[in-house]
Amino acid sequence: MHFKTKDMKPIYILLVALLLTGNLSSCKKALDKAPIGLITSNQDETDPKLGTVTSSVTASYKLLSSTLNIIGQWGWDDGTVLRNDFILQDIASGDMQKKWNPDGDQAWMDEFSKFSFTASNGGFNGQWSYDYEGISRCNRSIKYLTDQTVLDKIGIDNTLKNRLLGEVYFLRAFYYFDLVNNFGDVPLLLKPLKDFNDAYNVAKRSPKAEIWAQINSDLALAKPLLPATKYADNTDKWRVSKGAVIALQAKVALYNQKWTDVLTAVSELEGLNFYHLNANYFDSFSVAKEFNEQEVIFAYDHRSAETPANGNGICALAGWGFIAPTNNFITAFEPGDPRLGYTVDVAGQNVYKIFGALNSSNKGNEDSPSNKIYIRWADVLLWKAEALLETGAYAPAINLINSIRSRARNSVAADGNLPPAGTLPDRNVASSDKNQIKDWLVKERRVELGFECQRFNDLKRWGMAKDFLRSLGTNFQDRNYLYPIPQGEVDKSGGTITQNPGY
Residue 499 clears pLDDT 90, i.e. is over it: yes
**Does residue 397 lie in a domain region?**
no
**Does residue 280 lie in a domain region?**
no
Mean pLDDT of 490-502: 94
What DSSP string runs through 332-398? TSPTT-HHHHHH-BTTTTB-HHHHTSSSSTTTT-TTB---EEEEEHHHHHHHHHHHHHHTT-HHHHH
Residue 469 clears pLDDT 70, i.e. is over it: yes
**Does residue 17 lie in a domain region?**
yes
Distances (CA, A) of 448 to 311, 342, 416: 25, 10, 19
Contact between residue 242 and residue 225 where contact means Cβ atoms under 8 Å apart? no
Mean pLDDT of 453-457: 98
DSSP tag of 296: E
Confidence of residue 177 (pLDDT cuts 50, 70, 90): very high
**Does residue 61 lie in a domain region?**
yes
Q: What is the CATH number of the domain that holds 78?
A: 1.25.40.390
Cis (ω within 30 of 0) for the bond into 187?
no
pLDDT for residue 195: 80
pLDDT for residue 464: 98
Residue 16 clears pLDDT 50, i.e. is over it: no
Mean pLDDT of 6-24: 33
Secondary structure of 180-239 in HEC code, one letter for each residue: HHHHCCECCCCCCECCHHHHHHCCCCECHHHHHHHHHHHHHHHHHHCCCCCCCCCCCCCC
Q: Which of 7-21, 205-219, 429-443 has the lowest mean pLDDT?
A: 7-21
> Distance between CA atoms of 90 and 361, rounded to whole angstroms?
23
Mean pLDDT of 434-459: 98
Contact between residue 373 and residue 240 where contact means Cβ atoms under 8 Å apart? no
Mean pLDDT of 177-195: 95
Mean pLDDT of 469-482: 98
Whole-number average pLDDT of the chain: 92
Mean pLDDT of 406-415: 97
Mean pLDDT of 105-128: 97
Q: What is the dihedral of CA 425, 431, 436, 442, to 10 degrees?
A: 50
Total count of domains within the chain: 1
> Distance between CA atoms of 99 and 92, rounded to whole angstroms?
14
**Does residue 143 lie in a domain region?**
yes
**Does residue 419 lie in a domain region?**
no
Confidence of residue 196 (pLDDT cuts 50, 70, 90): confident
Q: What DSSP element (H or E) covers 251?
A: helix 242-255
Residue 109 clears pLDDT 90, i.e. is over it: yes
Non-local CB neighbours of 474 within 8 Å, separated by 6+ positions: 94, 113, 114, 115
Per the document, the length of the chain is 503
Mean pLDDT of 220-238: 98
Contact between residue 71 and residue 129 where contact means Cβ atoms under 8 Å apart? yes
Residue pLDDT, tens place only, 345-398: 999 999 999 999 999 999 999 999 999 999 999 999 999 999 999 999 999 999
Determine the Cα angle at 267 with ends 263 and 269, to 5°.
120
pTM: 0.93
**Does residue 387 lie in a domain region?**
no
Nearest Cα to Cα of residue 240 among 138, 315, 357, 152: 138
Residue pLDDT, tens place only, 278-311: 999 999 999 999 999 999 999 999 999 999 999 9
User: How many CA atoms lie less than 13 Å away from 305 in the CB half-sphere?
Assistant: 0
Mean pLDDT of 436-446: 98
> Distance between CA atoms of 250 and 247, rounded to whole angstroms?
5
Q: What DSSP element (H or E) covers 176?
A: helix 158-183
pLDDT for residue 314: 98
**Does residue 126 lie in a domain region?**
yes
Contact between residue 115 and residue 503 where contact means Cβ atoms under 8 Å apart? no
Residue pLDDT, tens place only, 25-83: 333 333 333 343 333 334 455 679 999 999 999 999 999 999 999 998 999 999 999 99
What DSSP string runs through 471-491? HTT----GGGGSPPPPHHHHH
Residue 20 clears pLDDT 60, i.e. is over it: no
Q: Give the residue numbers spanning the domain of 57.
A: 11-225
Mean pLDDT of 112-132: 98
Nearest Cα to Cα of residue 61 among 233, 245, 263, 302: 302
Residue 180 clears pLDDT 90, i.e. is over it: yes
